[in-house]
Amino acid sequence: MGGRGTGSRGQGAGGRRRRAGGAERARAERQYHIALSPGELAEHVLLCGDPDRAARVASRFDEVRFERRHREYITFTGRWEGADLSVMSTGIGPDNTEIAVIEISRVCRRPTLIRIGSCGALQERMRLGDLVISAGAVRLENTSTFFVHEGYPAVSDCEVLLALVAAAARRGHRHHVGLTATAPGFYGAQCRAVDGFPLRRPGLIGELAAQGVLNYEMETSALLTLASLRGLRAGAVCAVFAHRPSGRFIDGRDIPRVEARCIETGLEAVRVLRRMDEVKRAAGATRWTPEMRI
């Protein structure tokens, strides 16, 4: 990650002009929604919908060097285990995720993006508090269709996927790996019946479950599609807050503990990815393979 912009150390009017010019360039490059400029974001970025969750992630950093709050996009950049790391809240939904991915890509050359979120489980065998690691996502949202064909697959980067699986296993967290369904809304789009709001497709949740889809949420397919389109590494891990087959929802007292599992898995995945990158550089390879070990 670049520095915070110390400008020129020159003295007098010339030095002041250079510093002013650097500040003007930073303002010109600052992104409209996330309010970040180049150098303010690390190469590894954890994404979450909840601004309070972003703050809880940042509380685990060894040092927070930078903080920016603009609308729902709350960003912390600091040091964690000897390297730079950022966390950003995006708010809810694929449209907010679209903004985050695009604007991040404009201020950070090759970011790795990992979503740490919450979801509803679709399979009976799953439990409240489990983690779901997305190998790919069913694109029920239409935000991504303004960029790619309807049949374009939303898939996790293989390195991020493997890092998340390794991370969950290392931490001893019960987890599942498979397909996620990303909806454009919380109620109708996820088959939640509410009096006065009839559902057009009440059987959709059963169709998805029968097709082996593991979970429902609102961001992952937009993240994976746009990251793939831009050539970025991305993946997602979500904690199960709702068990849709039984209609059960997590007890509020359990949320901090379950959320912590998801955060720990995201951080551990960053550790694994850093090691993968070190091994790749040493081998002169562009992709990590299991034979390289970590």
**Which residues are part of the catalytic machinery?**
33, 103, 192, 244
Rg of the chain taking only CA atoms, in angstroms: 20
CA distance 62 to 165: 25
Calculate the dihedral angle through the C-alpha atoms of 183, 167, 1, 259, rounding to the nearest 10 degrees.
Answer: 50
CA distance 113 to 224: 9
CA distance 256 to 232: 30
CA distance 214 to 176: 8
Question: Three-state SS for 188?
Answer: helix
DSSP codes joined into one string, 143-173: SGGGTS-TT--EE--HHHHHHHHHHHHHHT-
Contact indicator for 143, 95 with CB cutoff of 8 Å: yes
State the number of CA atoms in the 13 A half-sphere of 252 facing the CB. 0
